[in-house]
């Protein structure tokens, strides 16, 4: 049996139903946490995606694509519960709501023996931390991982379910545990309502002074912050086809680079994160590039 993975991502996998301009609906496998795991695995990092998938056609497709990406199947659980679907009636402006409950069946007690000892970075985020009882289970898993000396990655990836009353406490708890936090300028506006993006970033840094923070700003590039240190990384110029999954690709690229070359300078990891995002933008759907593709782009002048 293969070794247990170095990187484990917990959270939701789902199917996006996107209303097209011709009023038909397009179904696409996705979910922020699943996307990050798939990206990291494609980038050559042994990765486990910890989540529950339905036993119907939607779950079967997610399981098939998980296997294609090389995700460790021992971390995926199957359930007869209704599939988790993200209904997107509009992309301009973005509108969405979620139906189904397959994700809520995930049970950390069923994870493979020894997984925590093997893991180096454990990631949490998105709507999985806003949906009970899953959120409570994942917070306890994050606390256990941190107590075991594992590095915690956190990608809030704000969505409407995070308006739930309990989410603010969950956000503060996980942020205080995190070694790595990725956040977009749009996330800051929602997570710290009433504050400017600059004020929201300052509030986040106060909550998580120990964390490396990667701020993504779309076409304006990325900014890494830790203590008094700040490094800016511009975007790589590509012909943009689709921005779906770019944030997830940047997170997966960042963590994959950290694990591939832990002694490399921060600037190297930022270039890999930006390259993974650019390659995702140059393809339709949530594209997961290979390490060779990402490393080649990161090496461009």
Q: Please name each of the domains of the chain with its CATH number.
A: 7-298 (3.40.1190.20)
Which stretch of 13-17, 145-149, 172-176, 284-288 has the lowest confidence by average pLDDT?
284-288
pLDDT band at 1 (very low <50, low <70, confident <90, very high): low
- List pLDDT tens digits, range 238-272: 888 777 778 999 999 999 999 999 999 999 999 99
**Helices within 85-166 (DSSP H only):** 115-118, 134-147
pLDDT at 53: 98
221-238 mean pLDDT: 94
Query: Which among 52, 21, 9, 51 is positioned nearest to 288, based on CA atoms?
Result: 9
Q: What percent of the chain has pLDDT over 90?
A: 79
- List pLDDT tens digits, range 2-49: 899 999 999 999 999 988 888 899 899 999 999 999 999 999 999 999
pLDDT at 189: 92
Instruction: Tell me the whole-structure pTM to 2 decimals.
Output: 0.94
CA separation for the pair 84, 107 (Å, rounded): 16
pLDDT at 286: 73
Q: What is the mean pLDDT of the chain?
A: 94
Q: 248 and 281 in contact (C-beta within 8 Å)?
A: no
Query: Which among 26, 42, 3 is positioned nearest to 260, based on CA atoms?
Result: 42
Which stretch of 69-83, 165-179, 219-233, 271-285 has the lowest confidence by average pLDDT?
271-285
Residue indicated by tokens 């989410």: 167
pLDDT band at 283 (very low <50, low <70, confident <90, very high): confident
pLDDT at 246: 85
Which stretch of 16-25, 44-53, 282-291, 292-301 has the lowest confidence by average pLDDT?
282-291
pLDDT at 179 over 60: yes
pLDDT at 68: 95
76-100 mean pLDDT: 90
pLDDT band at 144 (very low <50, low <70, confident <90, very high): very high
Between 197 and 232, name the one with better pLDDT: 232
Residue indicated by tokens 């963590």: 255
Helix/strand/coil for 65: helix
Q: 225 and 235 in contact (C-beta within 8 Å)?
A: no
């Amino acid at each position: 049996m293969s070794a247990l993975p170095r990187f484990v991502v917990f959270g939701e996998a789902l199917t996006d139903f996107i209303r097209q301009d011709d009023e038909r609906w397009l179904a696409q496998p996705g979910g922020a946490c699943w996307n990050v795991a798939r990206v990291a695995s494609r980038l050559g990092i042994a990765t486990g995606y910890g989540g529950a998938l339905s036993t119907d056609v939607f779950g079967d497709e997610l399981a098939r694509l998980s296997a294609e990406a090389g995700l460790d199947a021992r971390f995926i659980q199957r359930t007869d519960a209704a599939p988790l679907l993200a209904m997107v009636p509009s992309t301009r402006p973005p509108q969405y709501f979620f139906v189904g409950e397959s994700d809520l069946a995930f049970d950390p007690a069923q994870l493979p023996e020894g997984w925590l000892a093997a893991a180096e970075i454990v990631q949490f985020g998105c709507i999985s931390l806003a949906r009970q009882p899953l959120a409570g289970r994942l917070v306890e898993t994050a606390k256990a991982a941190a107590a075991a000396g594992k590095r915690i990655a956190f990608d809030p990836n704000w969505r409407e379910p995070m308006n739930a009353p309990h989410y603010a406490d969950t956000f503060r708890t996980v942020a205080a545990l995190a070694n790595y936090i990725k956040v977009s300028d749009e996330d800051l506006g929602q997570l710290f309502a009433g504050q400017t993006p600059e004020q929201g970033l300052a509030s986040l840094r106060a909550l998580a002074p120990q964390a490396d923070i990667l701020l993504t700003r779309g076409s304006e590039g990325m900014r890494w912050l830790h203590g008094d240190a700040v490094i800016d990384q511009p975007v790589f110029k590509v012909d943009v086809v689709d921005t779906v999954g770019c944030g997830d690709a940047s997170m997966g690229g960042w963590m994959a680079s950290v694990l591939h070359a832990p002694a490399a300078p921060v600037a190297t990891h930022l270039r890999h994160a930006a390259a993974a995002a650019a390659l995702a933008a140059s393809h339709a759907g949530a594209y997961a590039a290979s390490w060779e593709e990402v490393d080649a782009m990161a090496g461009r002048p």
